[in-house]
């Protein structure tokens, strides 16, 4: 084919318009711009407002906190920032114990959810297509009811005259004290957030190549050895994703410890509620929320880095 023929074909080829060139060049930026704008409006703006309130101090009035900017005269503006709320969170043992207790309860509940959710996800992933859809429906089914109703229903099972103690009473067993304890809080968190652990692990296990398991068996590995050496390492991204989905909302949980826990159940969600509504101390409550956000973001960042390291290792 001569150079003239190539030139003719190039001239006959449809030329891209300016809009098509811009879309082709900046397509990814245009796609990311929408969620980033949403994030800036509905996260960064409220975060800036809450952070500003946390730098004020409580006062009687509306709003119940001092203003950050005050006009001393017609030509000058004074900015007043108070760090007393953050200093109080560091020095007061009540807040320190609340944060430590929240992290401990959330971490323990996450481990329990993992121990229960992993076998469930493994069984669903290894089931036939017919039973797999039914089992997935059973896992997702609790989301069809209200979160508050589920917690109330759980309390009716564990109270002194509830279903469990009535069943034990039929065999002459003394009633168990379950309500208003940390045990009830663990049960409530695991029961509520268990689907968030099951679904990511299932999604990871269902994509597992069966040829790897067959190769391991052909090489003489026993089933437990195949699970430890092949299945478990390849499912680590799902484990980390499920752990994040359970740990993050559990650390700031308010409804479950309020309805199922006792007065000794100290979680930061209850402290935040008391500061905001009972004490009407908006600056202190805002400082508690900001620090809680930092406490959540730190393990989230570490888990995300661990997940990326696992994924990069698998891709290699």
How much of the chain exceeds pLDDT 90, in percent?
24
Q: What is the DSSP string of 47-75?
A: HHHHHHHHTS-B-SSSSSB--SEEEEETT
Write down the pLDDT at residue 63: 83
Q: What is the pLDDT of residues 244-263, one digit of tens each?
A: 899 988 998 888 998 898 88
Write down the pLDDT at residue 109: 95
What integer is the mean pLDDT of 96-120? 93
What integer is the mean pLDDT of 269-275? 89
Write down the pLDDT at residue 15: 55
Write down the pLDDT at residue 264: 80
Distance CA 243, CA 237 (A): 10
Range picked from 114-128, 155-169, 208-222, 292-306 for highest mean pLDDT: 114-128
Q: What is the pLDDT of residues 170-218, one digit of tens each?
A: 888 888 888 888 899 999 999 999 999 999 999 998 888 777 777 777 7
* Structure token pair of residue 62: 């509306």
Distance CA 109, CA 104 (A): 8
Distance CA 110, CA 188 (A): 12
Q: What is the pLDDT of residues 68-106, one digit of tens each?
A: 887 776 677 788 888 899 999 888 888 999 999 999 999
Range picked from 107-116, 135-144, 179-188 for highest mean pLDDT: 107-116
How much of the chain exceeds pLDDT 70, in percent?
84
- Residue boundaries of the structural domains of the chain: 3-78, 83-315
Q: What is the pLDDT of residues 1-19, one digit of tens each?
A: 554 454 444 444 455 565 5
Superfamily covering domain 83-315 = MetI-like (1.10.3720.10)
Q: Is the pLDDT of residue 304 over 80?
A: no
Residues 6+ apart with CB under 8 A from 185: 105, 109, 256, 257, 260, 261, 265, 267
Residue 38: which pLDDT band, with cuts at 50, 70 and 90?
confident
What integer is the mean pLDDT of 21-46? 73
Which residue did the predictor score with more confidence, 31 or 42?
42
Nearest of 282, 283, 275 to residue 83 by alpha carbon: 283
What is the average pLDDT value for the chain, to the nearest integer? Answer: 83
- Read off φ and ψ for residue 167, nearest 5 degrees: -70, -40
Task: Report helix, strand or coil for 76.
Answer: strand
- The whole model's pTM is what? 0.80
């Amino acid at each position: 084919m001569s150079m003239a023929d190539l030139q003719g074909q190039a001239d006959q080829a449809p030329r891209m318009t300016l809009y098509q060139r811009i879309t082709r060049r900046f397509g990814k930026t245009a796609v990311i711009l929408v969620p980033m704008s949403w994030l800036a409006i509905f996260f960064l703006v409220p975060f800036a407002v809450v952070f500003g309130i946390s730098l004020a101090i409580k006062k009687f009035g509306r709003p119940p906190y001092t203003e950050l900017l005050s006009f001393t005269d017609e030509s000058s503006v004074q900015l007043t920032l108070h760090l007393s709320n953050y200093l109080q969170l560091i020095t007061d043992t009540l807040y320190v114990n609340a944060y430590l207790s929240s992290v401990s309860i959330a971490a323990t509940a996450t481990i329990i959810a993992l121990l229960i959710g992993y076998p469930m996800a493994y069984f669903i992933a290894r089931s036939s297509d017919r039973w797999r859809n039914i089992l997935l429906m059973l896992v997702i089914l609790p989301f069809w009811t209200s979160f508050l109703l589920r917690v109330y229903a759980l309390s009716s099972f564990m109270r002194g005259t509830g279903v469990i103690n009535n069943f034990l009473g039929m065999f002459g067993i003394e009633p168990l004290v379950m309500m208003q304890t940390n045990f009830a809080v663990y049960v409530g968190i695991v029961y509520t957030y268990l689907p968030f652990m099951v679904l990511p692990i299932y999604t990871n296990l269902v994509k597992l190549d069966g040829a790897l398991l067959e190769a391991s068996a052909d090489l003489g590995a026993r089933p437990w050895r195949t699970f430890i050496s092949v299945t478990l390492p390849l499912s680590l991204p799902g484990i980390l994703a499920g752990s994040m989905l359970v740990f993050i909302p559990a650390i700031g949980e308010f409804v479950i410890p309020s309805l199922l826990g006792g007065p000794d159940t100290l979680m930061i969600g209850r402290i935040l509620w008391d500061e905001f509504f009972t004490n009407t101390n908006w600056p202190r409550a805002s400082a508690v929320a900001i620090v809680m956000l930092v406490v959540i973001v730190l393990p989230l960042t570490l888990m995300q880095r661990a997940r990326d390291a696992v994924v990069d290792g698998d891709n290699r």
